[in-house]
Amino acid sequence: MRIFSGIQPTGRKHLGNYIGAIRQYVEGQTRGESIYCVVDLHATTVPYEPATLRKLLYDTTAILLAAGVDPDKCILFRQSDVPQHSELCWLLCSVTSHGELTRMHQFKDKSAKQKDALISAGLFLYPVLMAADILLYKTDEVPVGDDQRQHVELTRNIAERFNERFGETLVVPKHRIPEVGARIMDLQSPEQKMSTSSTNENGTVYVLEEPKAILKKVKSAVTDSGTEIKIADDKPGISNLLEIMAAIQGKKPADVEKDFAGQRYGDLKVAVAEAVVQYLAPVRERYNELRPDEKRIEEALATGAAKARAIAQRTLEEVWDKMGVGAPRMTRT
């Protein structure tokens, strides 16, 4: 069974990324052949600073390593080190419709946020590059948070369409979205998902944040009117805190709700704040040890890229042959 996932080296990684995705990467290493990619090419689709992109890539890679992604147990690499991703992206454009790309929520949200800035063609094609990432490795399973559901669906459509048009070649992957913690919400606006682009810094807890700051943010999370600690549509703030606690404790949210029956909102906030601090502290400590050694991070990524390229090239050549592009196979060296 092959597992593939990607993560952007943009901004600082937050509790949503950690619970929804990163911890699944770690768990995947014991279940199948795992391949994880830090997607720097995707990061160029919105305005960004070239001078900081490499730094952010090291930050994100070091967070993955600190979380327990182990280059001896998986393939961990940087997307741009494997040029087959960009090439397959182009080839898959021929089986992707313009209409379905215009319907992508992420494209709509991100293009709306660009205001006066350029809305790049890269932002529009983003999901095709993501499909290429996944399909190059004949992936069975894609661990992601809930916000990537539509992109994985599109990937499935692209694979099916390719196979129908050119013959059985690509594996149609399934998403793996966790039952608990697939959509961690913003602490200040709990009707929105937690994200790095939130307008209020206090709504997002970062993986590398100081314990004091985490305590403050969680304790000042927006709760709802009423007093009962209960999962309910009209209690998004309380429901989110229960979800976070459940994810950390490996329980069902309904069981955490029972644990807090009869207690006050303040009690729940303090308990969740302390749980989050304890949960992230070891990651932050390991990160601080690992991050300064950029040479070692670079070596780990290079080893991963060499392994990834070998797999990616095999798939790409199959695609060339099916599509009738490139030199015929027998003439290739």
Which positions lie near ligand TYM, rule CB under 6 A?
Answer: 4-8, 16-17, 20-21, 39, 42, 130, 133-134, 142, 144-145, 147-148, 151, 182-184, 193-195
Closer residue to ligand TYM in complex, CB, 29/263: 29
Q: Which segments within the chain are labelled E, that is strand?
A: 2-7, 33-38, 74-78, 141-143, 174-176
Closer residue to ligand TYM in complex, CB, 35/256: 35
**Residue least distant from ligand TYM (Cβ):** 20
Q: How far is the CB of 2 from ligand TYM (least distance, A)?
A: 12
Closer residue to ligand TYM in complex, CB, 4/260: 4
Cα separation, 186 vs 236, whole angstroms:
10
Closer residue to ligand TYM in complex, CB, 10/223: 10
Closer residue to ligand TYM in complex, CB, 126/166: 126
- The distance in angstroms from the start CA to the end CA of the chain is 30
Q: How far is the CB of 332 from ligand TYM (least distance, A)?
A: 28
The tokens of 52 are what? Answer: 């900081």
Q: How far is the CB of 42 from ligand TYM (least distance, A)?
A: 5
Residue with structure tokens 């379905």?
A: 100
Q: How far is the CB of 143 from ligand TYM (least distance, A)?
A: 7
Specify whether the CB–CB gap between 121 and 161 falls below 8 A.
no
Among 177, 137, 126, smallest CA distance to 159 is for: 137
Q: How far is the CB of 127 from ligand TYM (least distance, A)?
A: 8
Among 61, 77, 74, smallest CA distance to 287 is for: 61
Sign of CA dihedral 172, 3, 308, 285: positive
